[in-house]
Amino acid sequence: MSRTPEKRPAYEPPTRLLRPTGYDPDMKRPASTYAGVALVMLRVVAGIVMLVGIALGWHGVVIDLESIDGFDDSDVEQLTRGIIVGVGAVFVVLDALFAFFVFRGSNIARVIVMFFAVASIATSFVAWWVQGQDITLQTTFVSLSLDILILLALSSRSAAAYARRNERR
């Protein structure tokens, strides 16, 4: 008898991957769920930092806008800043709420968080491919890496099993 653990095959048949998880309402929260929630909260912090940067660095944006002919209204500047920061704040709050629900074990919240992570990754890819936007620390590197790690953590078998632990099959 060997003391080494059994290796998982490199290729698993779809029937094994799609096998439903067992009904276990007393299942402990796995480390992958903790990691996923922590990463979502880091994304919330990054969003707050970005919104503060937009609010404080608005003068640079205004200088770019003033280069457009006929743009000189300061009320429009304030309204635009308010809308951008307000919409961003709504998304940050929603992200924090989804993190809470994922922590509580909501499968729909886990799927929504993963969907938005995929959308964010796809947006970064399209910006890189079409516009040639570089992925640097100042642009999308932090959000892109957080989104990839969120996908890895919340798409794991243990996180899925925990989120679906109350489903009877």
Range of the domain at 48: 28-163
Please indicate, yes or no, if residue 53 is contained in any of the structural domains. yes
pLDDT digits 0-9 by tens, 145-154: 999 999 999 9
Predicted local confidence at residue 62, as pLDDT: 57
Burial 29-64 (b: 16+ CB within 10 A, else e): ebebbebbbebbebbbeebeeebeeeeeebeeebee
Please indicate, yes or no, if residue 9 is contained in any of the structural domains. no
pLDDT digits 0-9 by tens, 82-126: 888 999 999 999 999 999 999 999 999 999 999 999 999 999 999
Whether residue 36 has pLDDT greater than 70:
yes
Predicted local confidence at residue 37, as pLDDT: 97
pLDDT digits 0-9 by tens, 58-91: 766 555 555 555 555 566 777 788 888 999 999 9
Question: In total, how many domains does the chain have?
Answer: 1
Please indicate, yes or no, if residue 125 is contained in any of the structural domains. yes
